Amino acid sequence: MRASEAAAALEWLVEMGADEIIGDAPVNRLLTPTPTAPEPAKAAAAPLATPGIVRPTAIVAQYSSGPAAQPAGANDAALMAGQCSTLAEIEQALRHFEACPLKKTATNLCFADGNAQADVMLIGEAPGRDEDIQGKPFVGRSGQLLDRMLKAIGLSRHGESPQDSVYISNVIFWRPPGNRTPTDQETLMCLPFVKRAIEIKKPRLLVCLGATPTQRLIGRSEGILKLRGRWFDFATESGSIPLLATLHPAYLLRQPAQKRLAWRDLISLKQRLKADAH
Ligand code: URA
């Protein structure tokens, strides 16, 4: 390849959203993987035929990538998620879930951070570059702003008790290339895992950061400026959880004047936590 061709190829990649180098050697993703013989012993060992609860490891064997992989999609996600009974099982199931196309371009799974016993669970949109590298939600600039906002009302990822801690996740678990908005298909693949994580964690209060998680979790289509500051009910099998919609910290970094609205929402959250404590 001539230097001018290499430069043109690089320019094209940047236009397509590639903004970092994630490996020393190039990977040709257009090559079909060489088929290898399936491992019948593994499939036979999986207790899929056992009535009752099927452990995620069995489901994982059924849906993982490889020559014997099933066509997977949102229904598969719902099936896998429904069979998890701990947050660790959800994370493990996601590590083996191959149906979400975002996984192919992401560096790391980005599942959750914070205190799993926390009263408050925050849900953001999707990991960005820093989150993709570290495999943890909200560790970049918007995460730092989020930490400062939480601190202002006495909350942190790892507070001394569940009352002053938060648990943080996203509605999308892999970084969309170039931070583009996730498609409906990608979101639908992740949503059953998010909903199951909420059901398992049973936070006292949920906070959605920005339009995407709010709209997806409460099934409304209004913009975030209409929805923010309001409490909704998120229905689970074991009862409903109050859900507060607020602005995404990345939006606040772009529109600092809107921080006053976010501050009102934080006060509302603090008041609700106080009222529920009595
Ligand atoms: N924005 C999000 O919505 N989630 C993250 O984890 C990081 C940035």
**Predicted local confidence at residue 176, as pLDDT:** 96
Does 53 reside within a domain? no
Q: How many CA atoms lie within 13 A of 246 on its CB side?
A: 26
Q: Which two tokens stand for residue 251?
A: 């939006």
Q: Does ligand 1 have an atom closer than 6 angstroms to the CB of 247?
A: no
Residues 171 and 123: beta-carbon distance below 8 Å: yes
Q: For ligand 1, atom 3, name the residue with the nearest CA.
A: 125
Q: Which two tokens stand for residue 224?
A: 């975030």
Does 48 reside within a domain? no
Does 249 reside within a domain? yes
* Domains: count for the chain: 1
Q: Does ligand 1 have an atom closer than 6 angstroms to the CB of 125?
A: yes
Does 24 reside within a domain? no
Q: Does ligand 1 have an atom closer than 6 angstroms to the CB of 212?
A: no
Q: Distance between CA atoms of 186 and 176, rounded to whole angstroms? A: 9
CATH label of the domain that carries residue 131: 3.40.470.10
Does 119 reside within a domain? yes
- Three-state SS string over 124-178 comes to ECCCCHHHHHHCCCCCCHHHHHHHHHHHHCCCECCCCCHHHEEEEEECCCCCCHH
Residue pLDDT tens, the chain, 278 long: 888 878 888 877 776 667 666 666 776 766 655 544 444 443 333 333 333 334 444 444 444 444 333 335 778 899 999 999 999 999 999 999 999 999 999 999 999 999 999 999 999 999 999 999 999 999 999 999 999 999 999 999 999 999 999 999 999 999 999 999 889 889 999 999 999 999 999 999 999 999 999 999 999 999 999 999 999 999 999 999 999 999 999 999 999 999 999 999 999 999 999 998 76
Q: Which two tokens stand for residue 81?
A: 């998620």
Does 273 reside within a domain? yes
Q: Does ligand 1 have an atom closer than 6 angstroms to the CB of 159?
A: no
Dihedral of CA atoms 22, 24, 25, 30 in degrees, nearest 10, equals: 10
**How is 64-105 classified by DSSP, letter by letter?**
SSSTTPPP--HHHHHHHHHT--SHHHHHHHHHH----THHHH
Domain that holds residue 249: 110-277
Q: Distance between CA atoms of 1 and 22, rounded to whole angstroms? A: 21
Report which ligand 1 atom has the smallest distance to the Cα of 142. Answer: 8
**Predicted local confidence at residue 114, as pLDDT:** 98
- C-alpha pair distances (Å), 155 with each of 57, 124, 146, 160, 273: 35, 17, 10, 10, 11
Residue to substitute in 113, 138, 175, 179 for testing ligand 1 pocket (most ligand atoms within 8 angstroms of CB): 138
Who's near 192: CB < 8 A, 6+ residues apart?
A: 74, 77, 78, 80, 81, 82
Q: What are residue 241's phi and psi, to 5 degrees? A: -115, 130
Q: Does ligand 1 have an atom closer than 6 angstroms to the CB of 170?
A: yes
Does 245 reside within a domain? yes
Q: Does ligand 1 have an atom closer than 6 angstroms to the CB of 114?
A: no
Residue to substitute in 102, 110, 121, 125 for testing ligand 1 pocket (most ligand atoms within 8 angstroms of CB): 125
Does 166 reside within a domain? yes
